[in-house]
Amino acid sequence: MPKKVLILAGGGGHTGYAHILAQEMVSRAELSFLVPDDDPLSRARLEPFGRVQALIKPRHPATPFYRFIPRLLLSFLQSLTRVSSEYRVVVSTGSNFCVPPALIAWLKGIPLINIESADKFETPSKTARILQHLSAVTVLQWEEQRKILKGTVFGPFLPRRRAEPWEGGYVLIATGTYGYEELLEAASESQLKNVILQTGEIDPERYEKRHPEWRVITTTDRFYELIAGAEVVVAPPGATPLEAISYGKPVVIVKYPDWSRAGTLEDARLFAEKLNAPLLSELSPRALVDALEEAKRRDKPKLKNGAKALAEYITQNI
């Protein structure tokens, strides 16, 4: 009888890690997932692999503290029924979403595996710092992360290709789940003609009006198809640049949005170095165009797939 594995997918790039691990685990275990209750994209991405249940996410970037506390308490209450003792292991992919169900798993004696984000080098994420004390394994994606956490290096999480790479001739500019206005404005003011612009939660209408020749989207569960045809992919550090590398696409890394819980500029620089990608630290139309040309000239890195290594570890050791 296959072992039952629960994967906690906190949205955005964290759901990206869950999806990549699910690709490697689906033939090895019976998979279930917890996703944020206001995140239909995470649900759509993971439903092909197993049962998906919803759970409130305590905090988004703009959630005020007075709302965070009751949402956190509700998440703990919901986790009591959603994290069953039938699971052989629970895997956290990061973000505050994962903390309550991970703690409930630990209290029920279920082994916990926590994955640190690929873009953390100077200081650990808050989730990893909390959960490393409860985890059977803390999964590191780079050797340098040993300096900030006690864990095991598996390698970066690279998705399997779901489409054949092709040359669509367009620049794909991805701003993530919540959007990144400074990047959107720099792209909008450039002279780029063939662009697919992903705006996240930022209203796409103004960019559609300014650039009727562009394709402007908020999000899609078939984002891999856009990556597969891109000439260059532009994105902040995280899952999207790693997916672009798996499709053999040049990448431009953009500095983090100015969120209080985002990584540092040095984190972004080290992440870009791992991918041999130019880092766009000052956003301007001219700098964006120059970085695109530089990305095309650089060699693509060869990286070990950490998700496959973790799937083999879970299969053999838990």
Q: What is the CATH number of domain 4-157+305-317?
A: 3.40.50.2000
Sheet of 215-217: strand order equals: 215-217, 195-198, 170-174, 230-235, 251-254, 279-280
pLDDT of amino acid 60 = 83
Closest CA to 223 of 93, 70, 45: 45
Exposed/middle/buried for residue 147 (C-beta within 10 Å: 0-12, 13-18, 19+)? exposed
By percentage, how much of the chain surpasses pLDDT 70? Answer: 99
Residue 310 scores a pLDDT above 90: yes
Angle at 276 between CA 270 and CA 278, to 5 degrees: 80
Indicate the DSSP class of residue 65.
H
Residue 79: pLDDT over 70? yes
Alpha helices in the chain (DSSP H): 12-25, 40-46, 65-82, 99-107, 126-131, 181-188, 205-210, 223-229, 239-246, 265-274, 285-297, 306-317
- CATH number, domain 170-297: 3.40.50.2000
What average pLDDT score do residues 6-28 get?
A: 94
pLDDT at 1: 72
What does the alpha-carbon distance between residue 86 and residue 104 come to, in Å, rounded to a whole number?
Answer: 13
Whether 4-157+305-317 and 170-297 share one fold: the answer is: yes
Model confidence at 259: pLDDT above 70? no
- Token pair listed for 73: 């308490």
Give the tens place of pLDDT for each residue, 173-215.
Answer: 999 888 999 999 999 999 999 999 999 999 999 999 999 999 9
Which of 125, 132, 39, 91 lies closest to 306 in space, CA to CA? 91
Amino acid in position 241: P
Which whole number is the average pLDDT over 232-239? 94
The torsion angle over the Cα atoms of residues 41, 42, 44 and 49, rounded to 10 degrees, is 160
Q: What is the pLDDT of residues 96-106, one digit of tens each?
A: 999 999 999 99
At residue 260, the pLDDT reads: 56
Q: Are 302 and 248 in contact (CB under 8 A)?
A: no
Domains of the chain by residue range: 4-157+305-317, 170-297
Buried/exposed 242-262: b ≥16 CB within 10 Å, e otherwise: bbbbbbebbbbbbbbbeeeeb
In the chain, what are the helix, strand and coil shares in percent, each to the nearest 5? 40, 20, 40
Give residue 2's pLDDT.
Answer: 86
Average pLDDT over all residues of the chain: 94
Tens digits of per-residue pLDDT, 106-143?
999 999 999 999 999 999 999 999 999 999 999 999 99
261 pLDDT more than 90: no
Element (H, E) at 7: strand 4-8
Which pTM was predicted?
A: 0.89
25-66: pLDDT as tens digits: 999 999 999 999 999 999 999 999 999 999 999 988 778 888
User: Does the pLDDT value for residue 257 go beyond 90?
Assistant: no
pLDDT of residue 217: 96
